[in-house]
Structure 1
C-alpha cells in the first residue's frame, strides 16, 4: 500500500485526476456497478481503470473483497467529501491537507477492497509496499507478520507483538526465504 499522504507530493494536475479516479472507483464499489460494466463491455474490450494514471491499472471486474456495511458507509461519506472537488466547485491543490487525507483514506479502502496497491505514476515510491502486523497472546509454533519467498528490502516491513512464546516457538516480524541481492 502507498505511504500515507504521499498524494500531496504529486503535481496538481495528477492529483486532480487521481481524486477523480478515486471518487469514481469509490462510487462504483458503492453501487456495485464495476462487474456489470465489465460484463457488458466484454472482458477483452473493457478498459483498465486508472490506465496511464496508476503504476499498475486495475483489471476490470469485481473487488477481491466484499466491504462490510459500516465500511461502505464511511466510503460513501468520503466520496461525498470529494464530490465538489471532482465537479470543479473547489480547487484541487496538493497543499490542501484535508483533501489529501480524505483522498488517501478513499485509496486505502479501495486498496483493501481490491487487495492491491493503487499508487499513482508520479507519486514518490514510499519504500514500504508490504507491511504486516501480528498481535497474539501465545505462540507455540511459528508466527510471522510477513513471510515472503523473495523481497526487496525497501519494500517490506513487519511488526510482531506476542505476550509469550512457548518452548520451541518462534516469532519473527519478516521472514524472507531469499533476501535481495546487495
Structure 2
C-alpha cells in the first residue's frame, strides 16, 4: 500500500481525492450487490467516477469480482469511516494519520480491483493506469495458483512475480491469465 499524504495534496485536492475514492468505492459496492442478483461473470463493469483529481484517465473500468468478494467487508468499513469527509460533514485535517491511512487503504483496494494505479495530480508516484504488480510466495503448491486473472486493458500492464519452494506433480502455476487475449510477454 502506497502512503497517501493529504498535506502534500493540499486542502482542496485532499477533499476532492477523498470524494473520488469514496464515490468510486460506493459505485463498486452498488454494482457488487446488483451482481449478486444477476450476472455471475468474472468481471463487472463499473465506470470510473467523473473527476478532475486524477493525473490522467484510467485505462479501463473492469472490476475483478474475486478481489471485490475478498475485500467487500473492508470496503464497507472504509466507506463508513470516510463518509463524513466525503460528504463535507467533517473537515479534512491535513496530516491526520488515521484519515490518511483509511484513504490509502481504500485507494489500494481500488487499485487491486481495477488492476491499475489511481494517482492524484501532484503526487509523486506511478501515473494513473499503469500496471499493477503482484508478488506471490507459495511454500508448497498442490493445485492451481494464478497470479493475475483478468483483462489487461489497452495501455495497461500487469507484472507477476511468483516464487515457490515445492511444486507437486500435477500442480499448475499460472502467472497471467489474460482474458482480453492481448499478447503477454512470458519470461
The answer as to 2:116 corresponding to 1:120 is no
Of the two structures, which has the highest relative contact order with CA contacts closer than 8 Å and spacing of 6 or more? 1
Which runs of 5 or more structure 2 residues have no equivalent in the other structure? Answer: 35-46, 142-146, 148-157, 168-184
Equivalent residues of 1:49, 1:57 under 8 A apart: no
After TM superposition, the score normalised by the length of structure 2 is: 0.58
Residue 94 (structure 1) shift: 2.7
- Structure-1 residue corresponding to 2:109: 109
Distance 1:90 1:49, change over 3 A: same
Task: Provide, for residues 48-69 of structure 1, a one-character-per-residue CA deviation record: whole Å limited to 9, x for no partner.
Answer: 63442112334685x331111x
Residue 137 (structure 1) shift: 3.8
Measure the CA separation in 2 of the matches of 1:130 and 1:115. 5
- Structure-2 residue corresponding to 1:27: 26
- Structure-1 residue corresponding to 2:2: 4
Measure the CA separation in 2 of the matches of 1:126 and 1:114. 15
Equivalent residues of 2:117, 2:126 under 8 A apart: no
Match of 1:136 among 130, 135, 138: 138
- Structure-2 residue corresponding to 1:52: 52
SS in 2 for 1:89: coil
- Structure-2 residue corresponding to 1:100: 100
Task: Provide, for residues 96-122 of structure 1, a one-character-per-residue CA deviation record: whole Å limited to 9, x for no partner.
Answer: 111111111111111111121111112
Structural mapping, 1:83-94, within 5 Å: 83-94=83-94
Residue 93 (structure 1) shift: 2.5
Task: Provide, for residues 72-108 of structure 1, a one-character-per-residue CA deviation record: whole Å limited to 9, x for no partner.
Answer: 1220110011011122222113301111111111111
After TM superposition, the score normalised by the length of structure 1 is: 0.60
Measure the CA separation in 1 of the matches of 2:115 and 2:60. 14
If you compute each CA radius of gyration, which structure gives the higher value, 1 or 2? Answer: 1
RMSD: 4.1
